[in-house]
Amino acid sequence: MEDREFLEAVLGLIAIDSVALEDVSEAAPYGAGPAKALEYVLELCQRLGIRTQNCGGKTAWAEIGAGDEIVGILGHLDVVPVGSGWTRSPKGEICDGRLYGRGAADDKGPTLAALFAMKELQDAGTPLNRRVRLIFGQCEEVGDWEDMEYYKATQQLPVFGFTPDADFPAIYGEKGILDFELTAPLGDLVSIEGGDAGNMVPGWCRCTYCGPDGAVHELEAQGRPAHASTPEKGENAISKLMEQLAQLGVKSPLVDFCQAHLGNDFHGGKLGCGLEDEQSGKLTVNAGLLRTRDGKAVLTLDVRNPVTFTQKDVEAPLDRACRPYGIEWACTGSADSIYMDKNGKVVTAMTEVYRQVTGDASEPTVIGGGTYARSMPGIVAFGPMQPGRECTEHQKDEYILVDDLLAAKEIYRRTIEKLANLP
């Protein structure tokens, strides 16, 4: 009965389209969708008997237990755009042991898994020496994280905790994230656009261009979306269109640049920044978003740099690559890498619980994705995806196995109890 209630709650939350920064208002500072999702979870907490606080719609939390210190759990209610090509409902459905929908794995399902884990602990009267607070984010996918900044400025900080927004057994490091906008002359291009978000491999791209015959032509390419941190898992429609335009002889600095320095090179070698380290592997680069703005083409690059390298290590070669094409660039967003003690008490506690529940002896890892673990000290990305599972975050037909989501709830329940009572 409890599992059914949990799964129905997840489906209800997935049904809310909560892309951030759409229809922003004073009552919905991060957009109407995230505000509606926040209202939903706070009402759900009330039904579950868990105390909450809504801080003017900018942040909110749910809490159990007692004590001076807080174990924090950071989940987000916003999602990336649905995109196209789904064969299952992005609004949520369960089929063949899979729970489908935008946000099923990233991050609505895992966030509610943590909430229902808290409910089980509270209902059982489990002794907790620290309070456990689930903090609801609303703009994680757009990268600014103003919600977490507001929380840090106005609320008590956790001493440690986790964000249920990555992989098991635990993530002890995350690469740096750099967002660049490249502004290029159009040349023979009349207009061009592609992609839905900078942190997604674009599934579409289309343009109009002036051909050798003087007429204006249309061209379109289709790709396969994936998360920008794993561009090799997708098929980049922007790169495909650039290649087609080059074959047609279309003269454009943007086309020439993309052919020479991007293409299907996911690791920055053609850009001159093919960085790699033992701790976190290779740099990744994704051309995620393309628009025509003020008579020029604006291309957004998502770069994930290894933990031992810095922003300057990327910017210098990027500048050298852009100059010959008359392309101007600007860094529009950045997040430093994080790297925690793999053998510290928090990561060790999480790994032990994961192994007890699953019997899997996998080691903690470092990822290219960016999570709320960057937003506060002592936070570790923890689940819900188990090693070897297909990762469909930011893709069509996003799903998580129902059994894995239920296992995540059990792992979170035991982990919360352990962290709340750590000496």
**What residues act catalytically?**
78, 140
Max Cα–Cα distance, the chain, nearest Å? 78
Residue located via tokens 């159990």:
64
Cα–Cα distance measured from residue 123 to residue 51, given in angstroms and rounded to the nearest whole number: 13
User: What is the identity of the amino acid at 300?
Assistant: T
Radius of gyration of the chain (CA): 22
* Ramachandran region, residue 256 (left: φ > 0; alpha: ψ -120 to 50; beta: rest): alpha
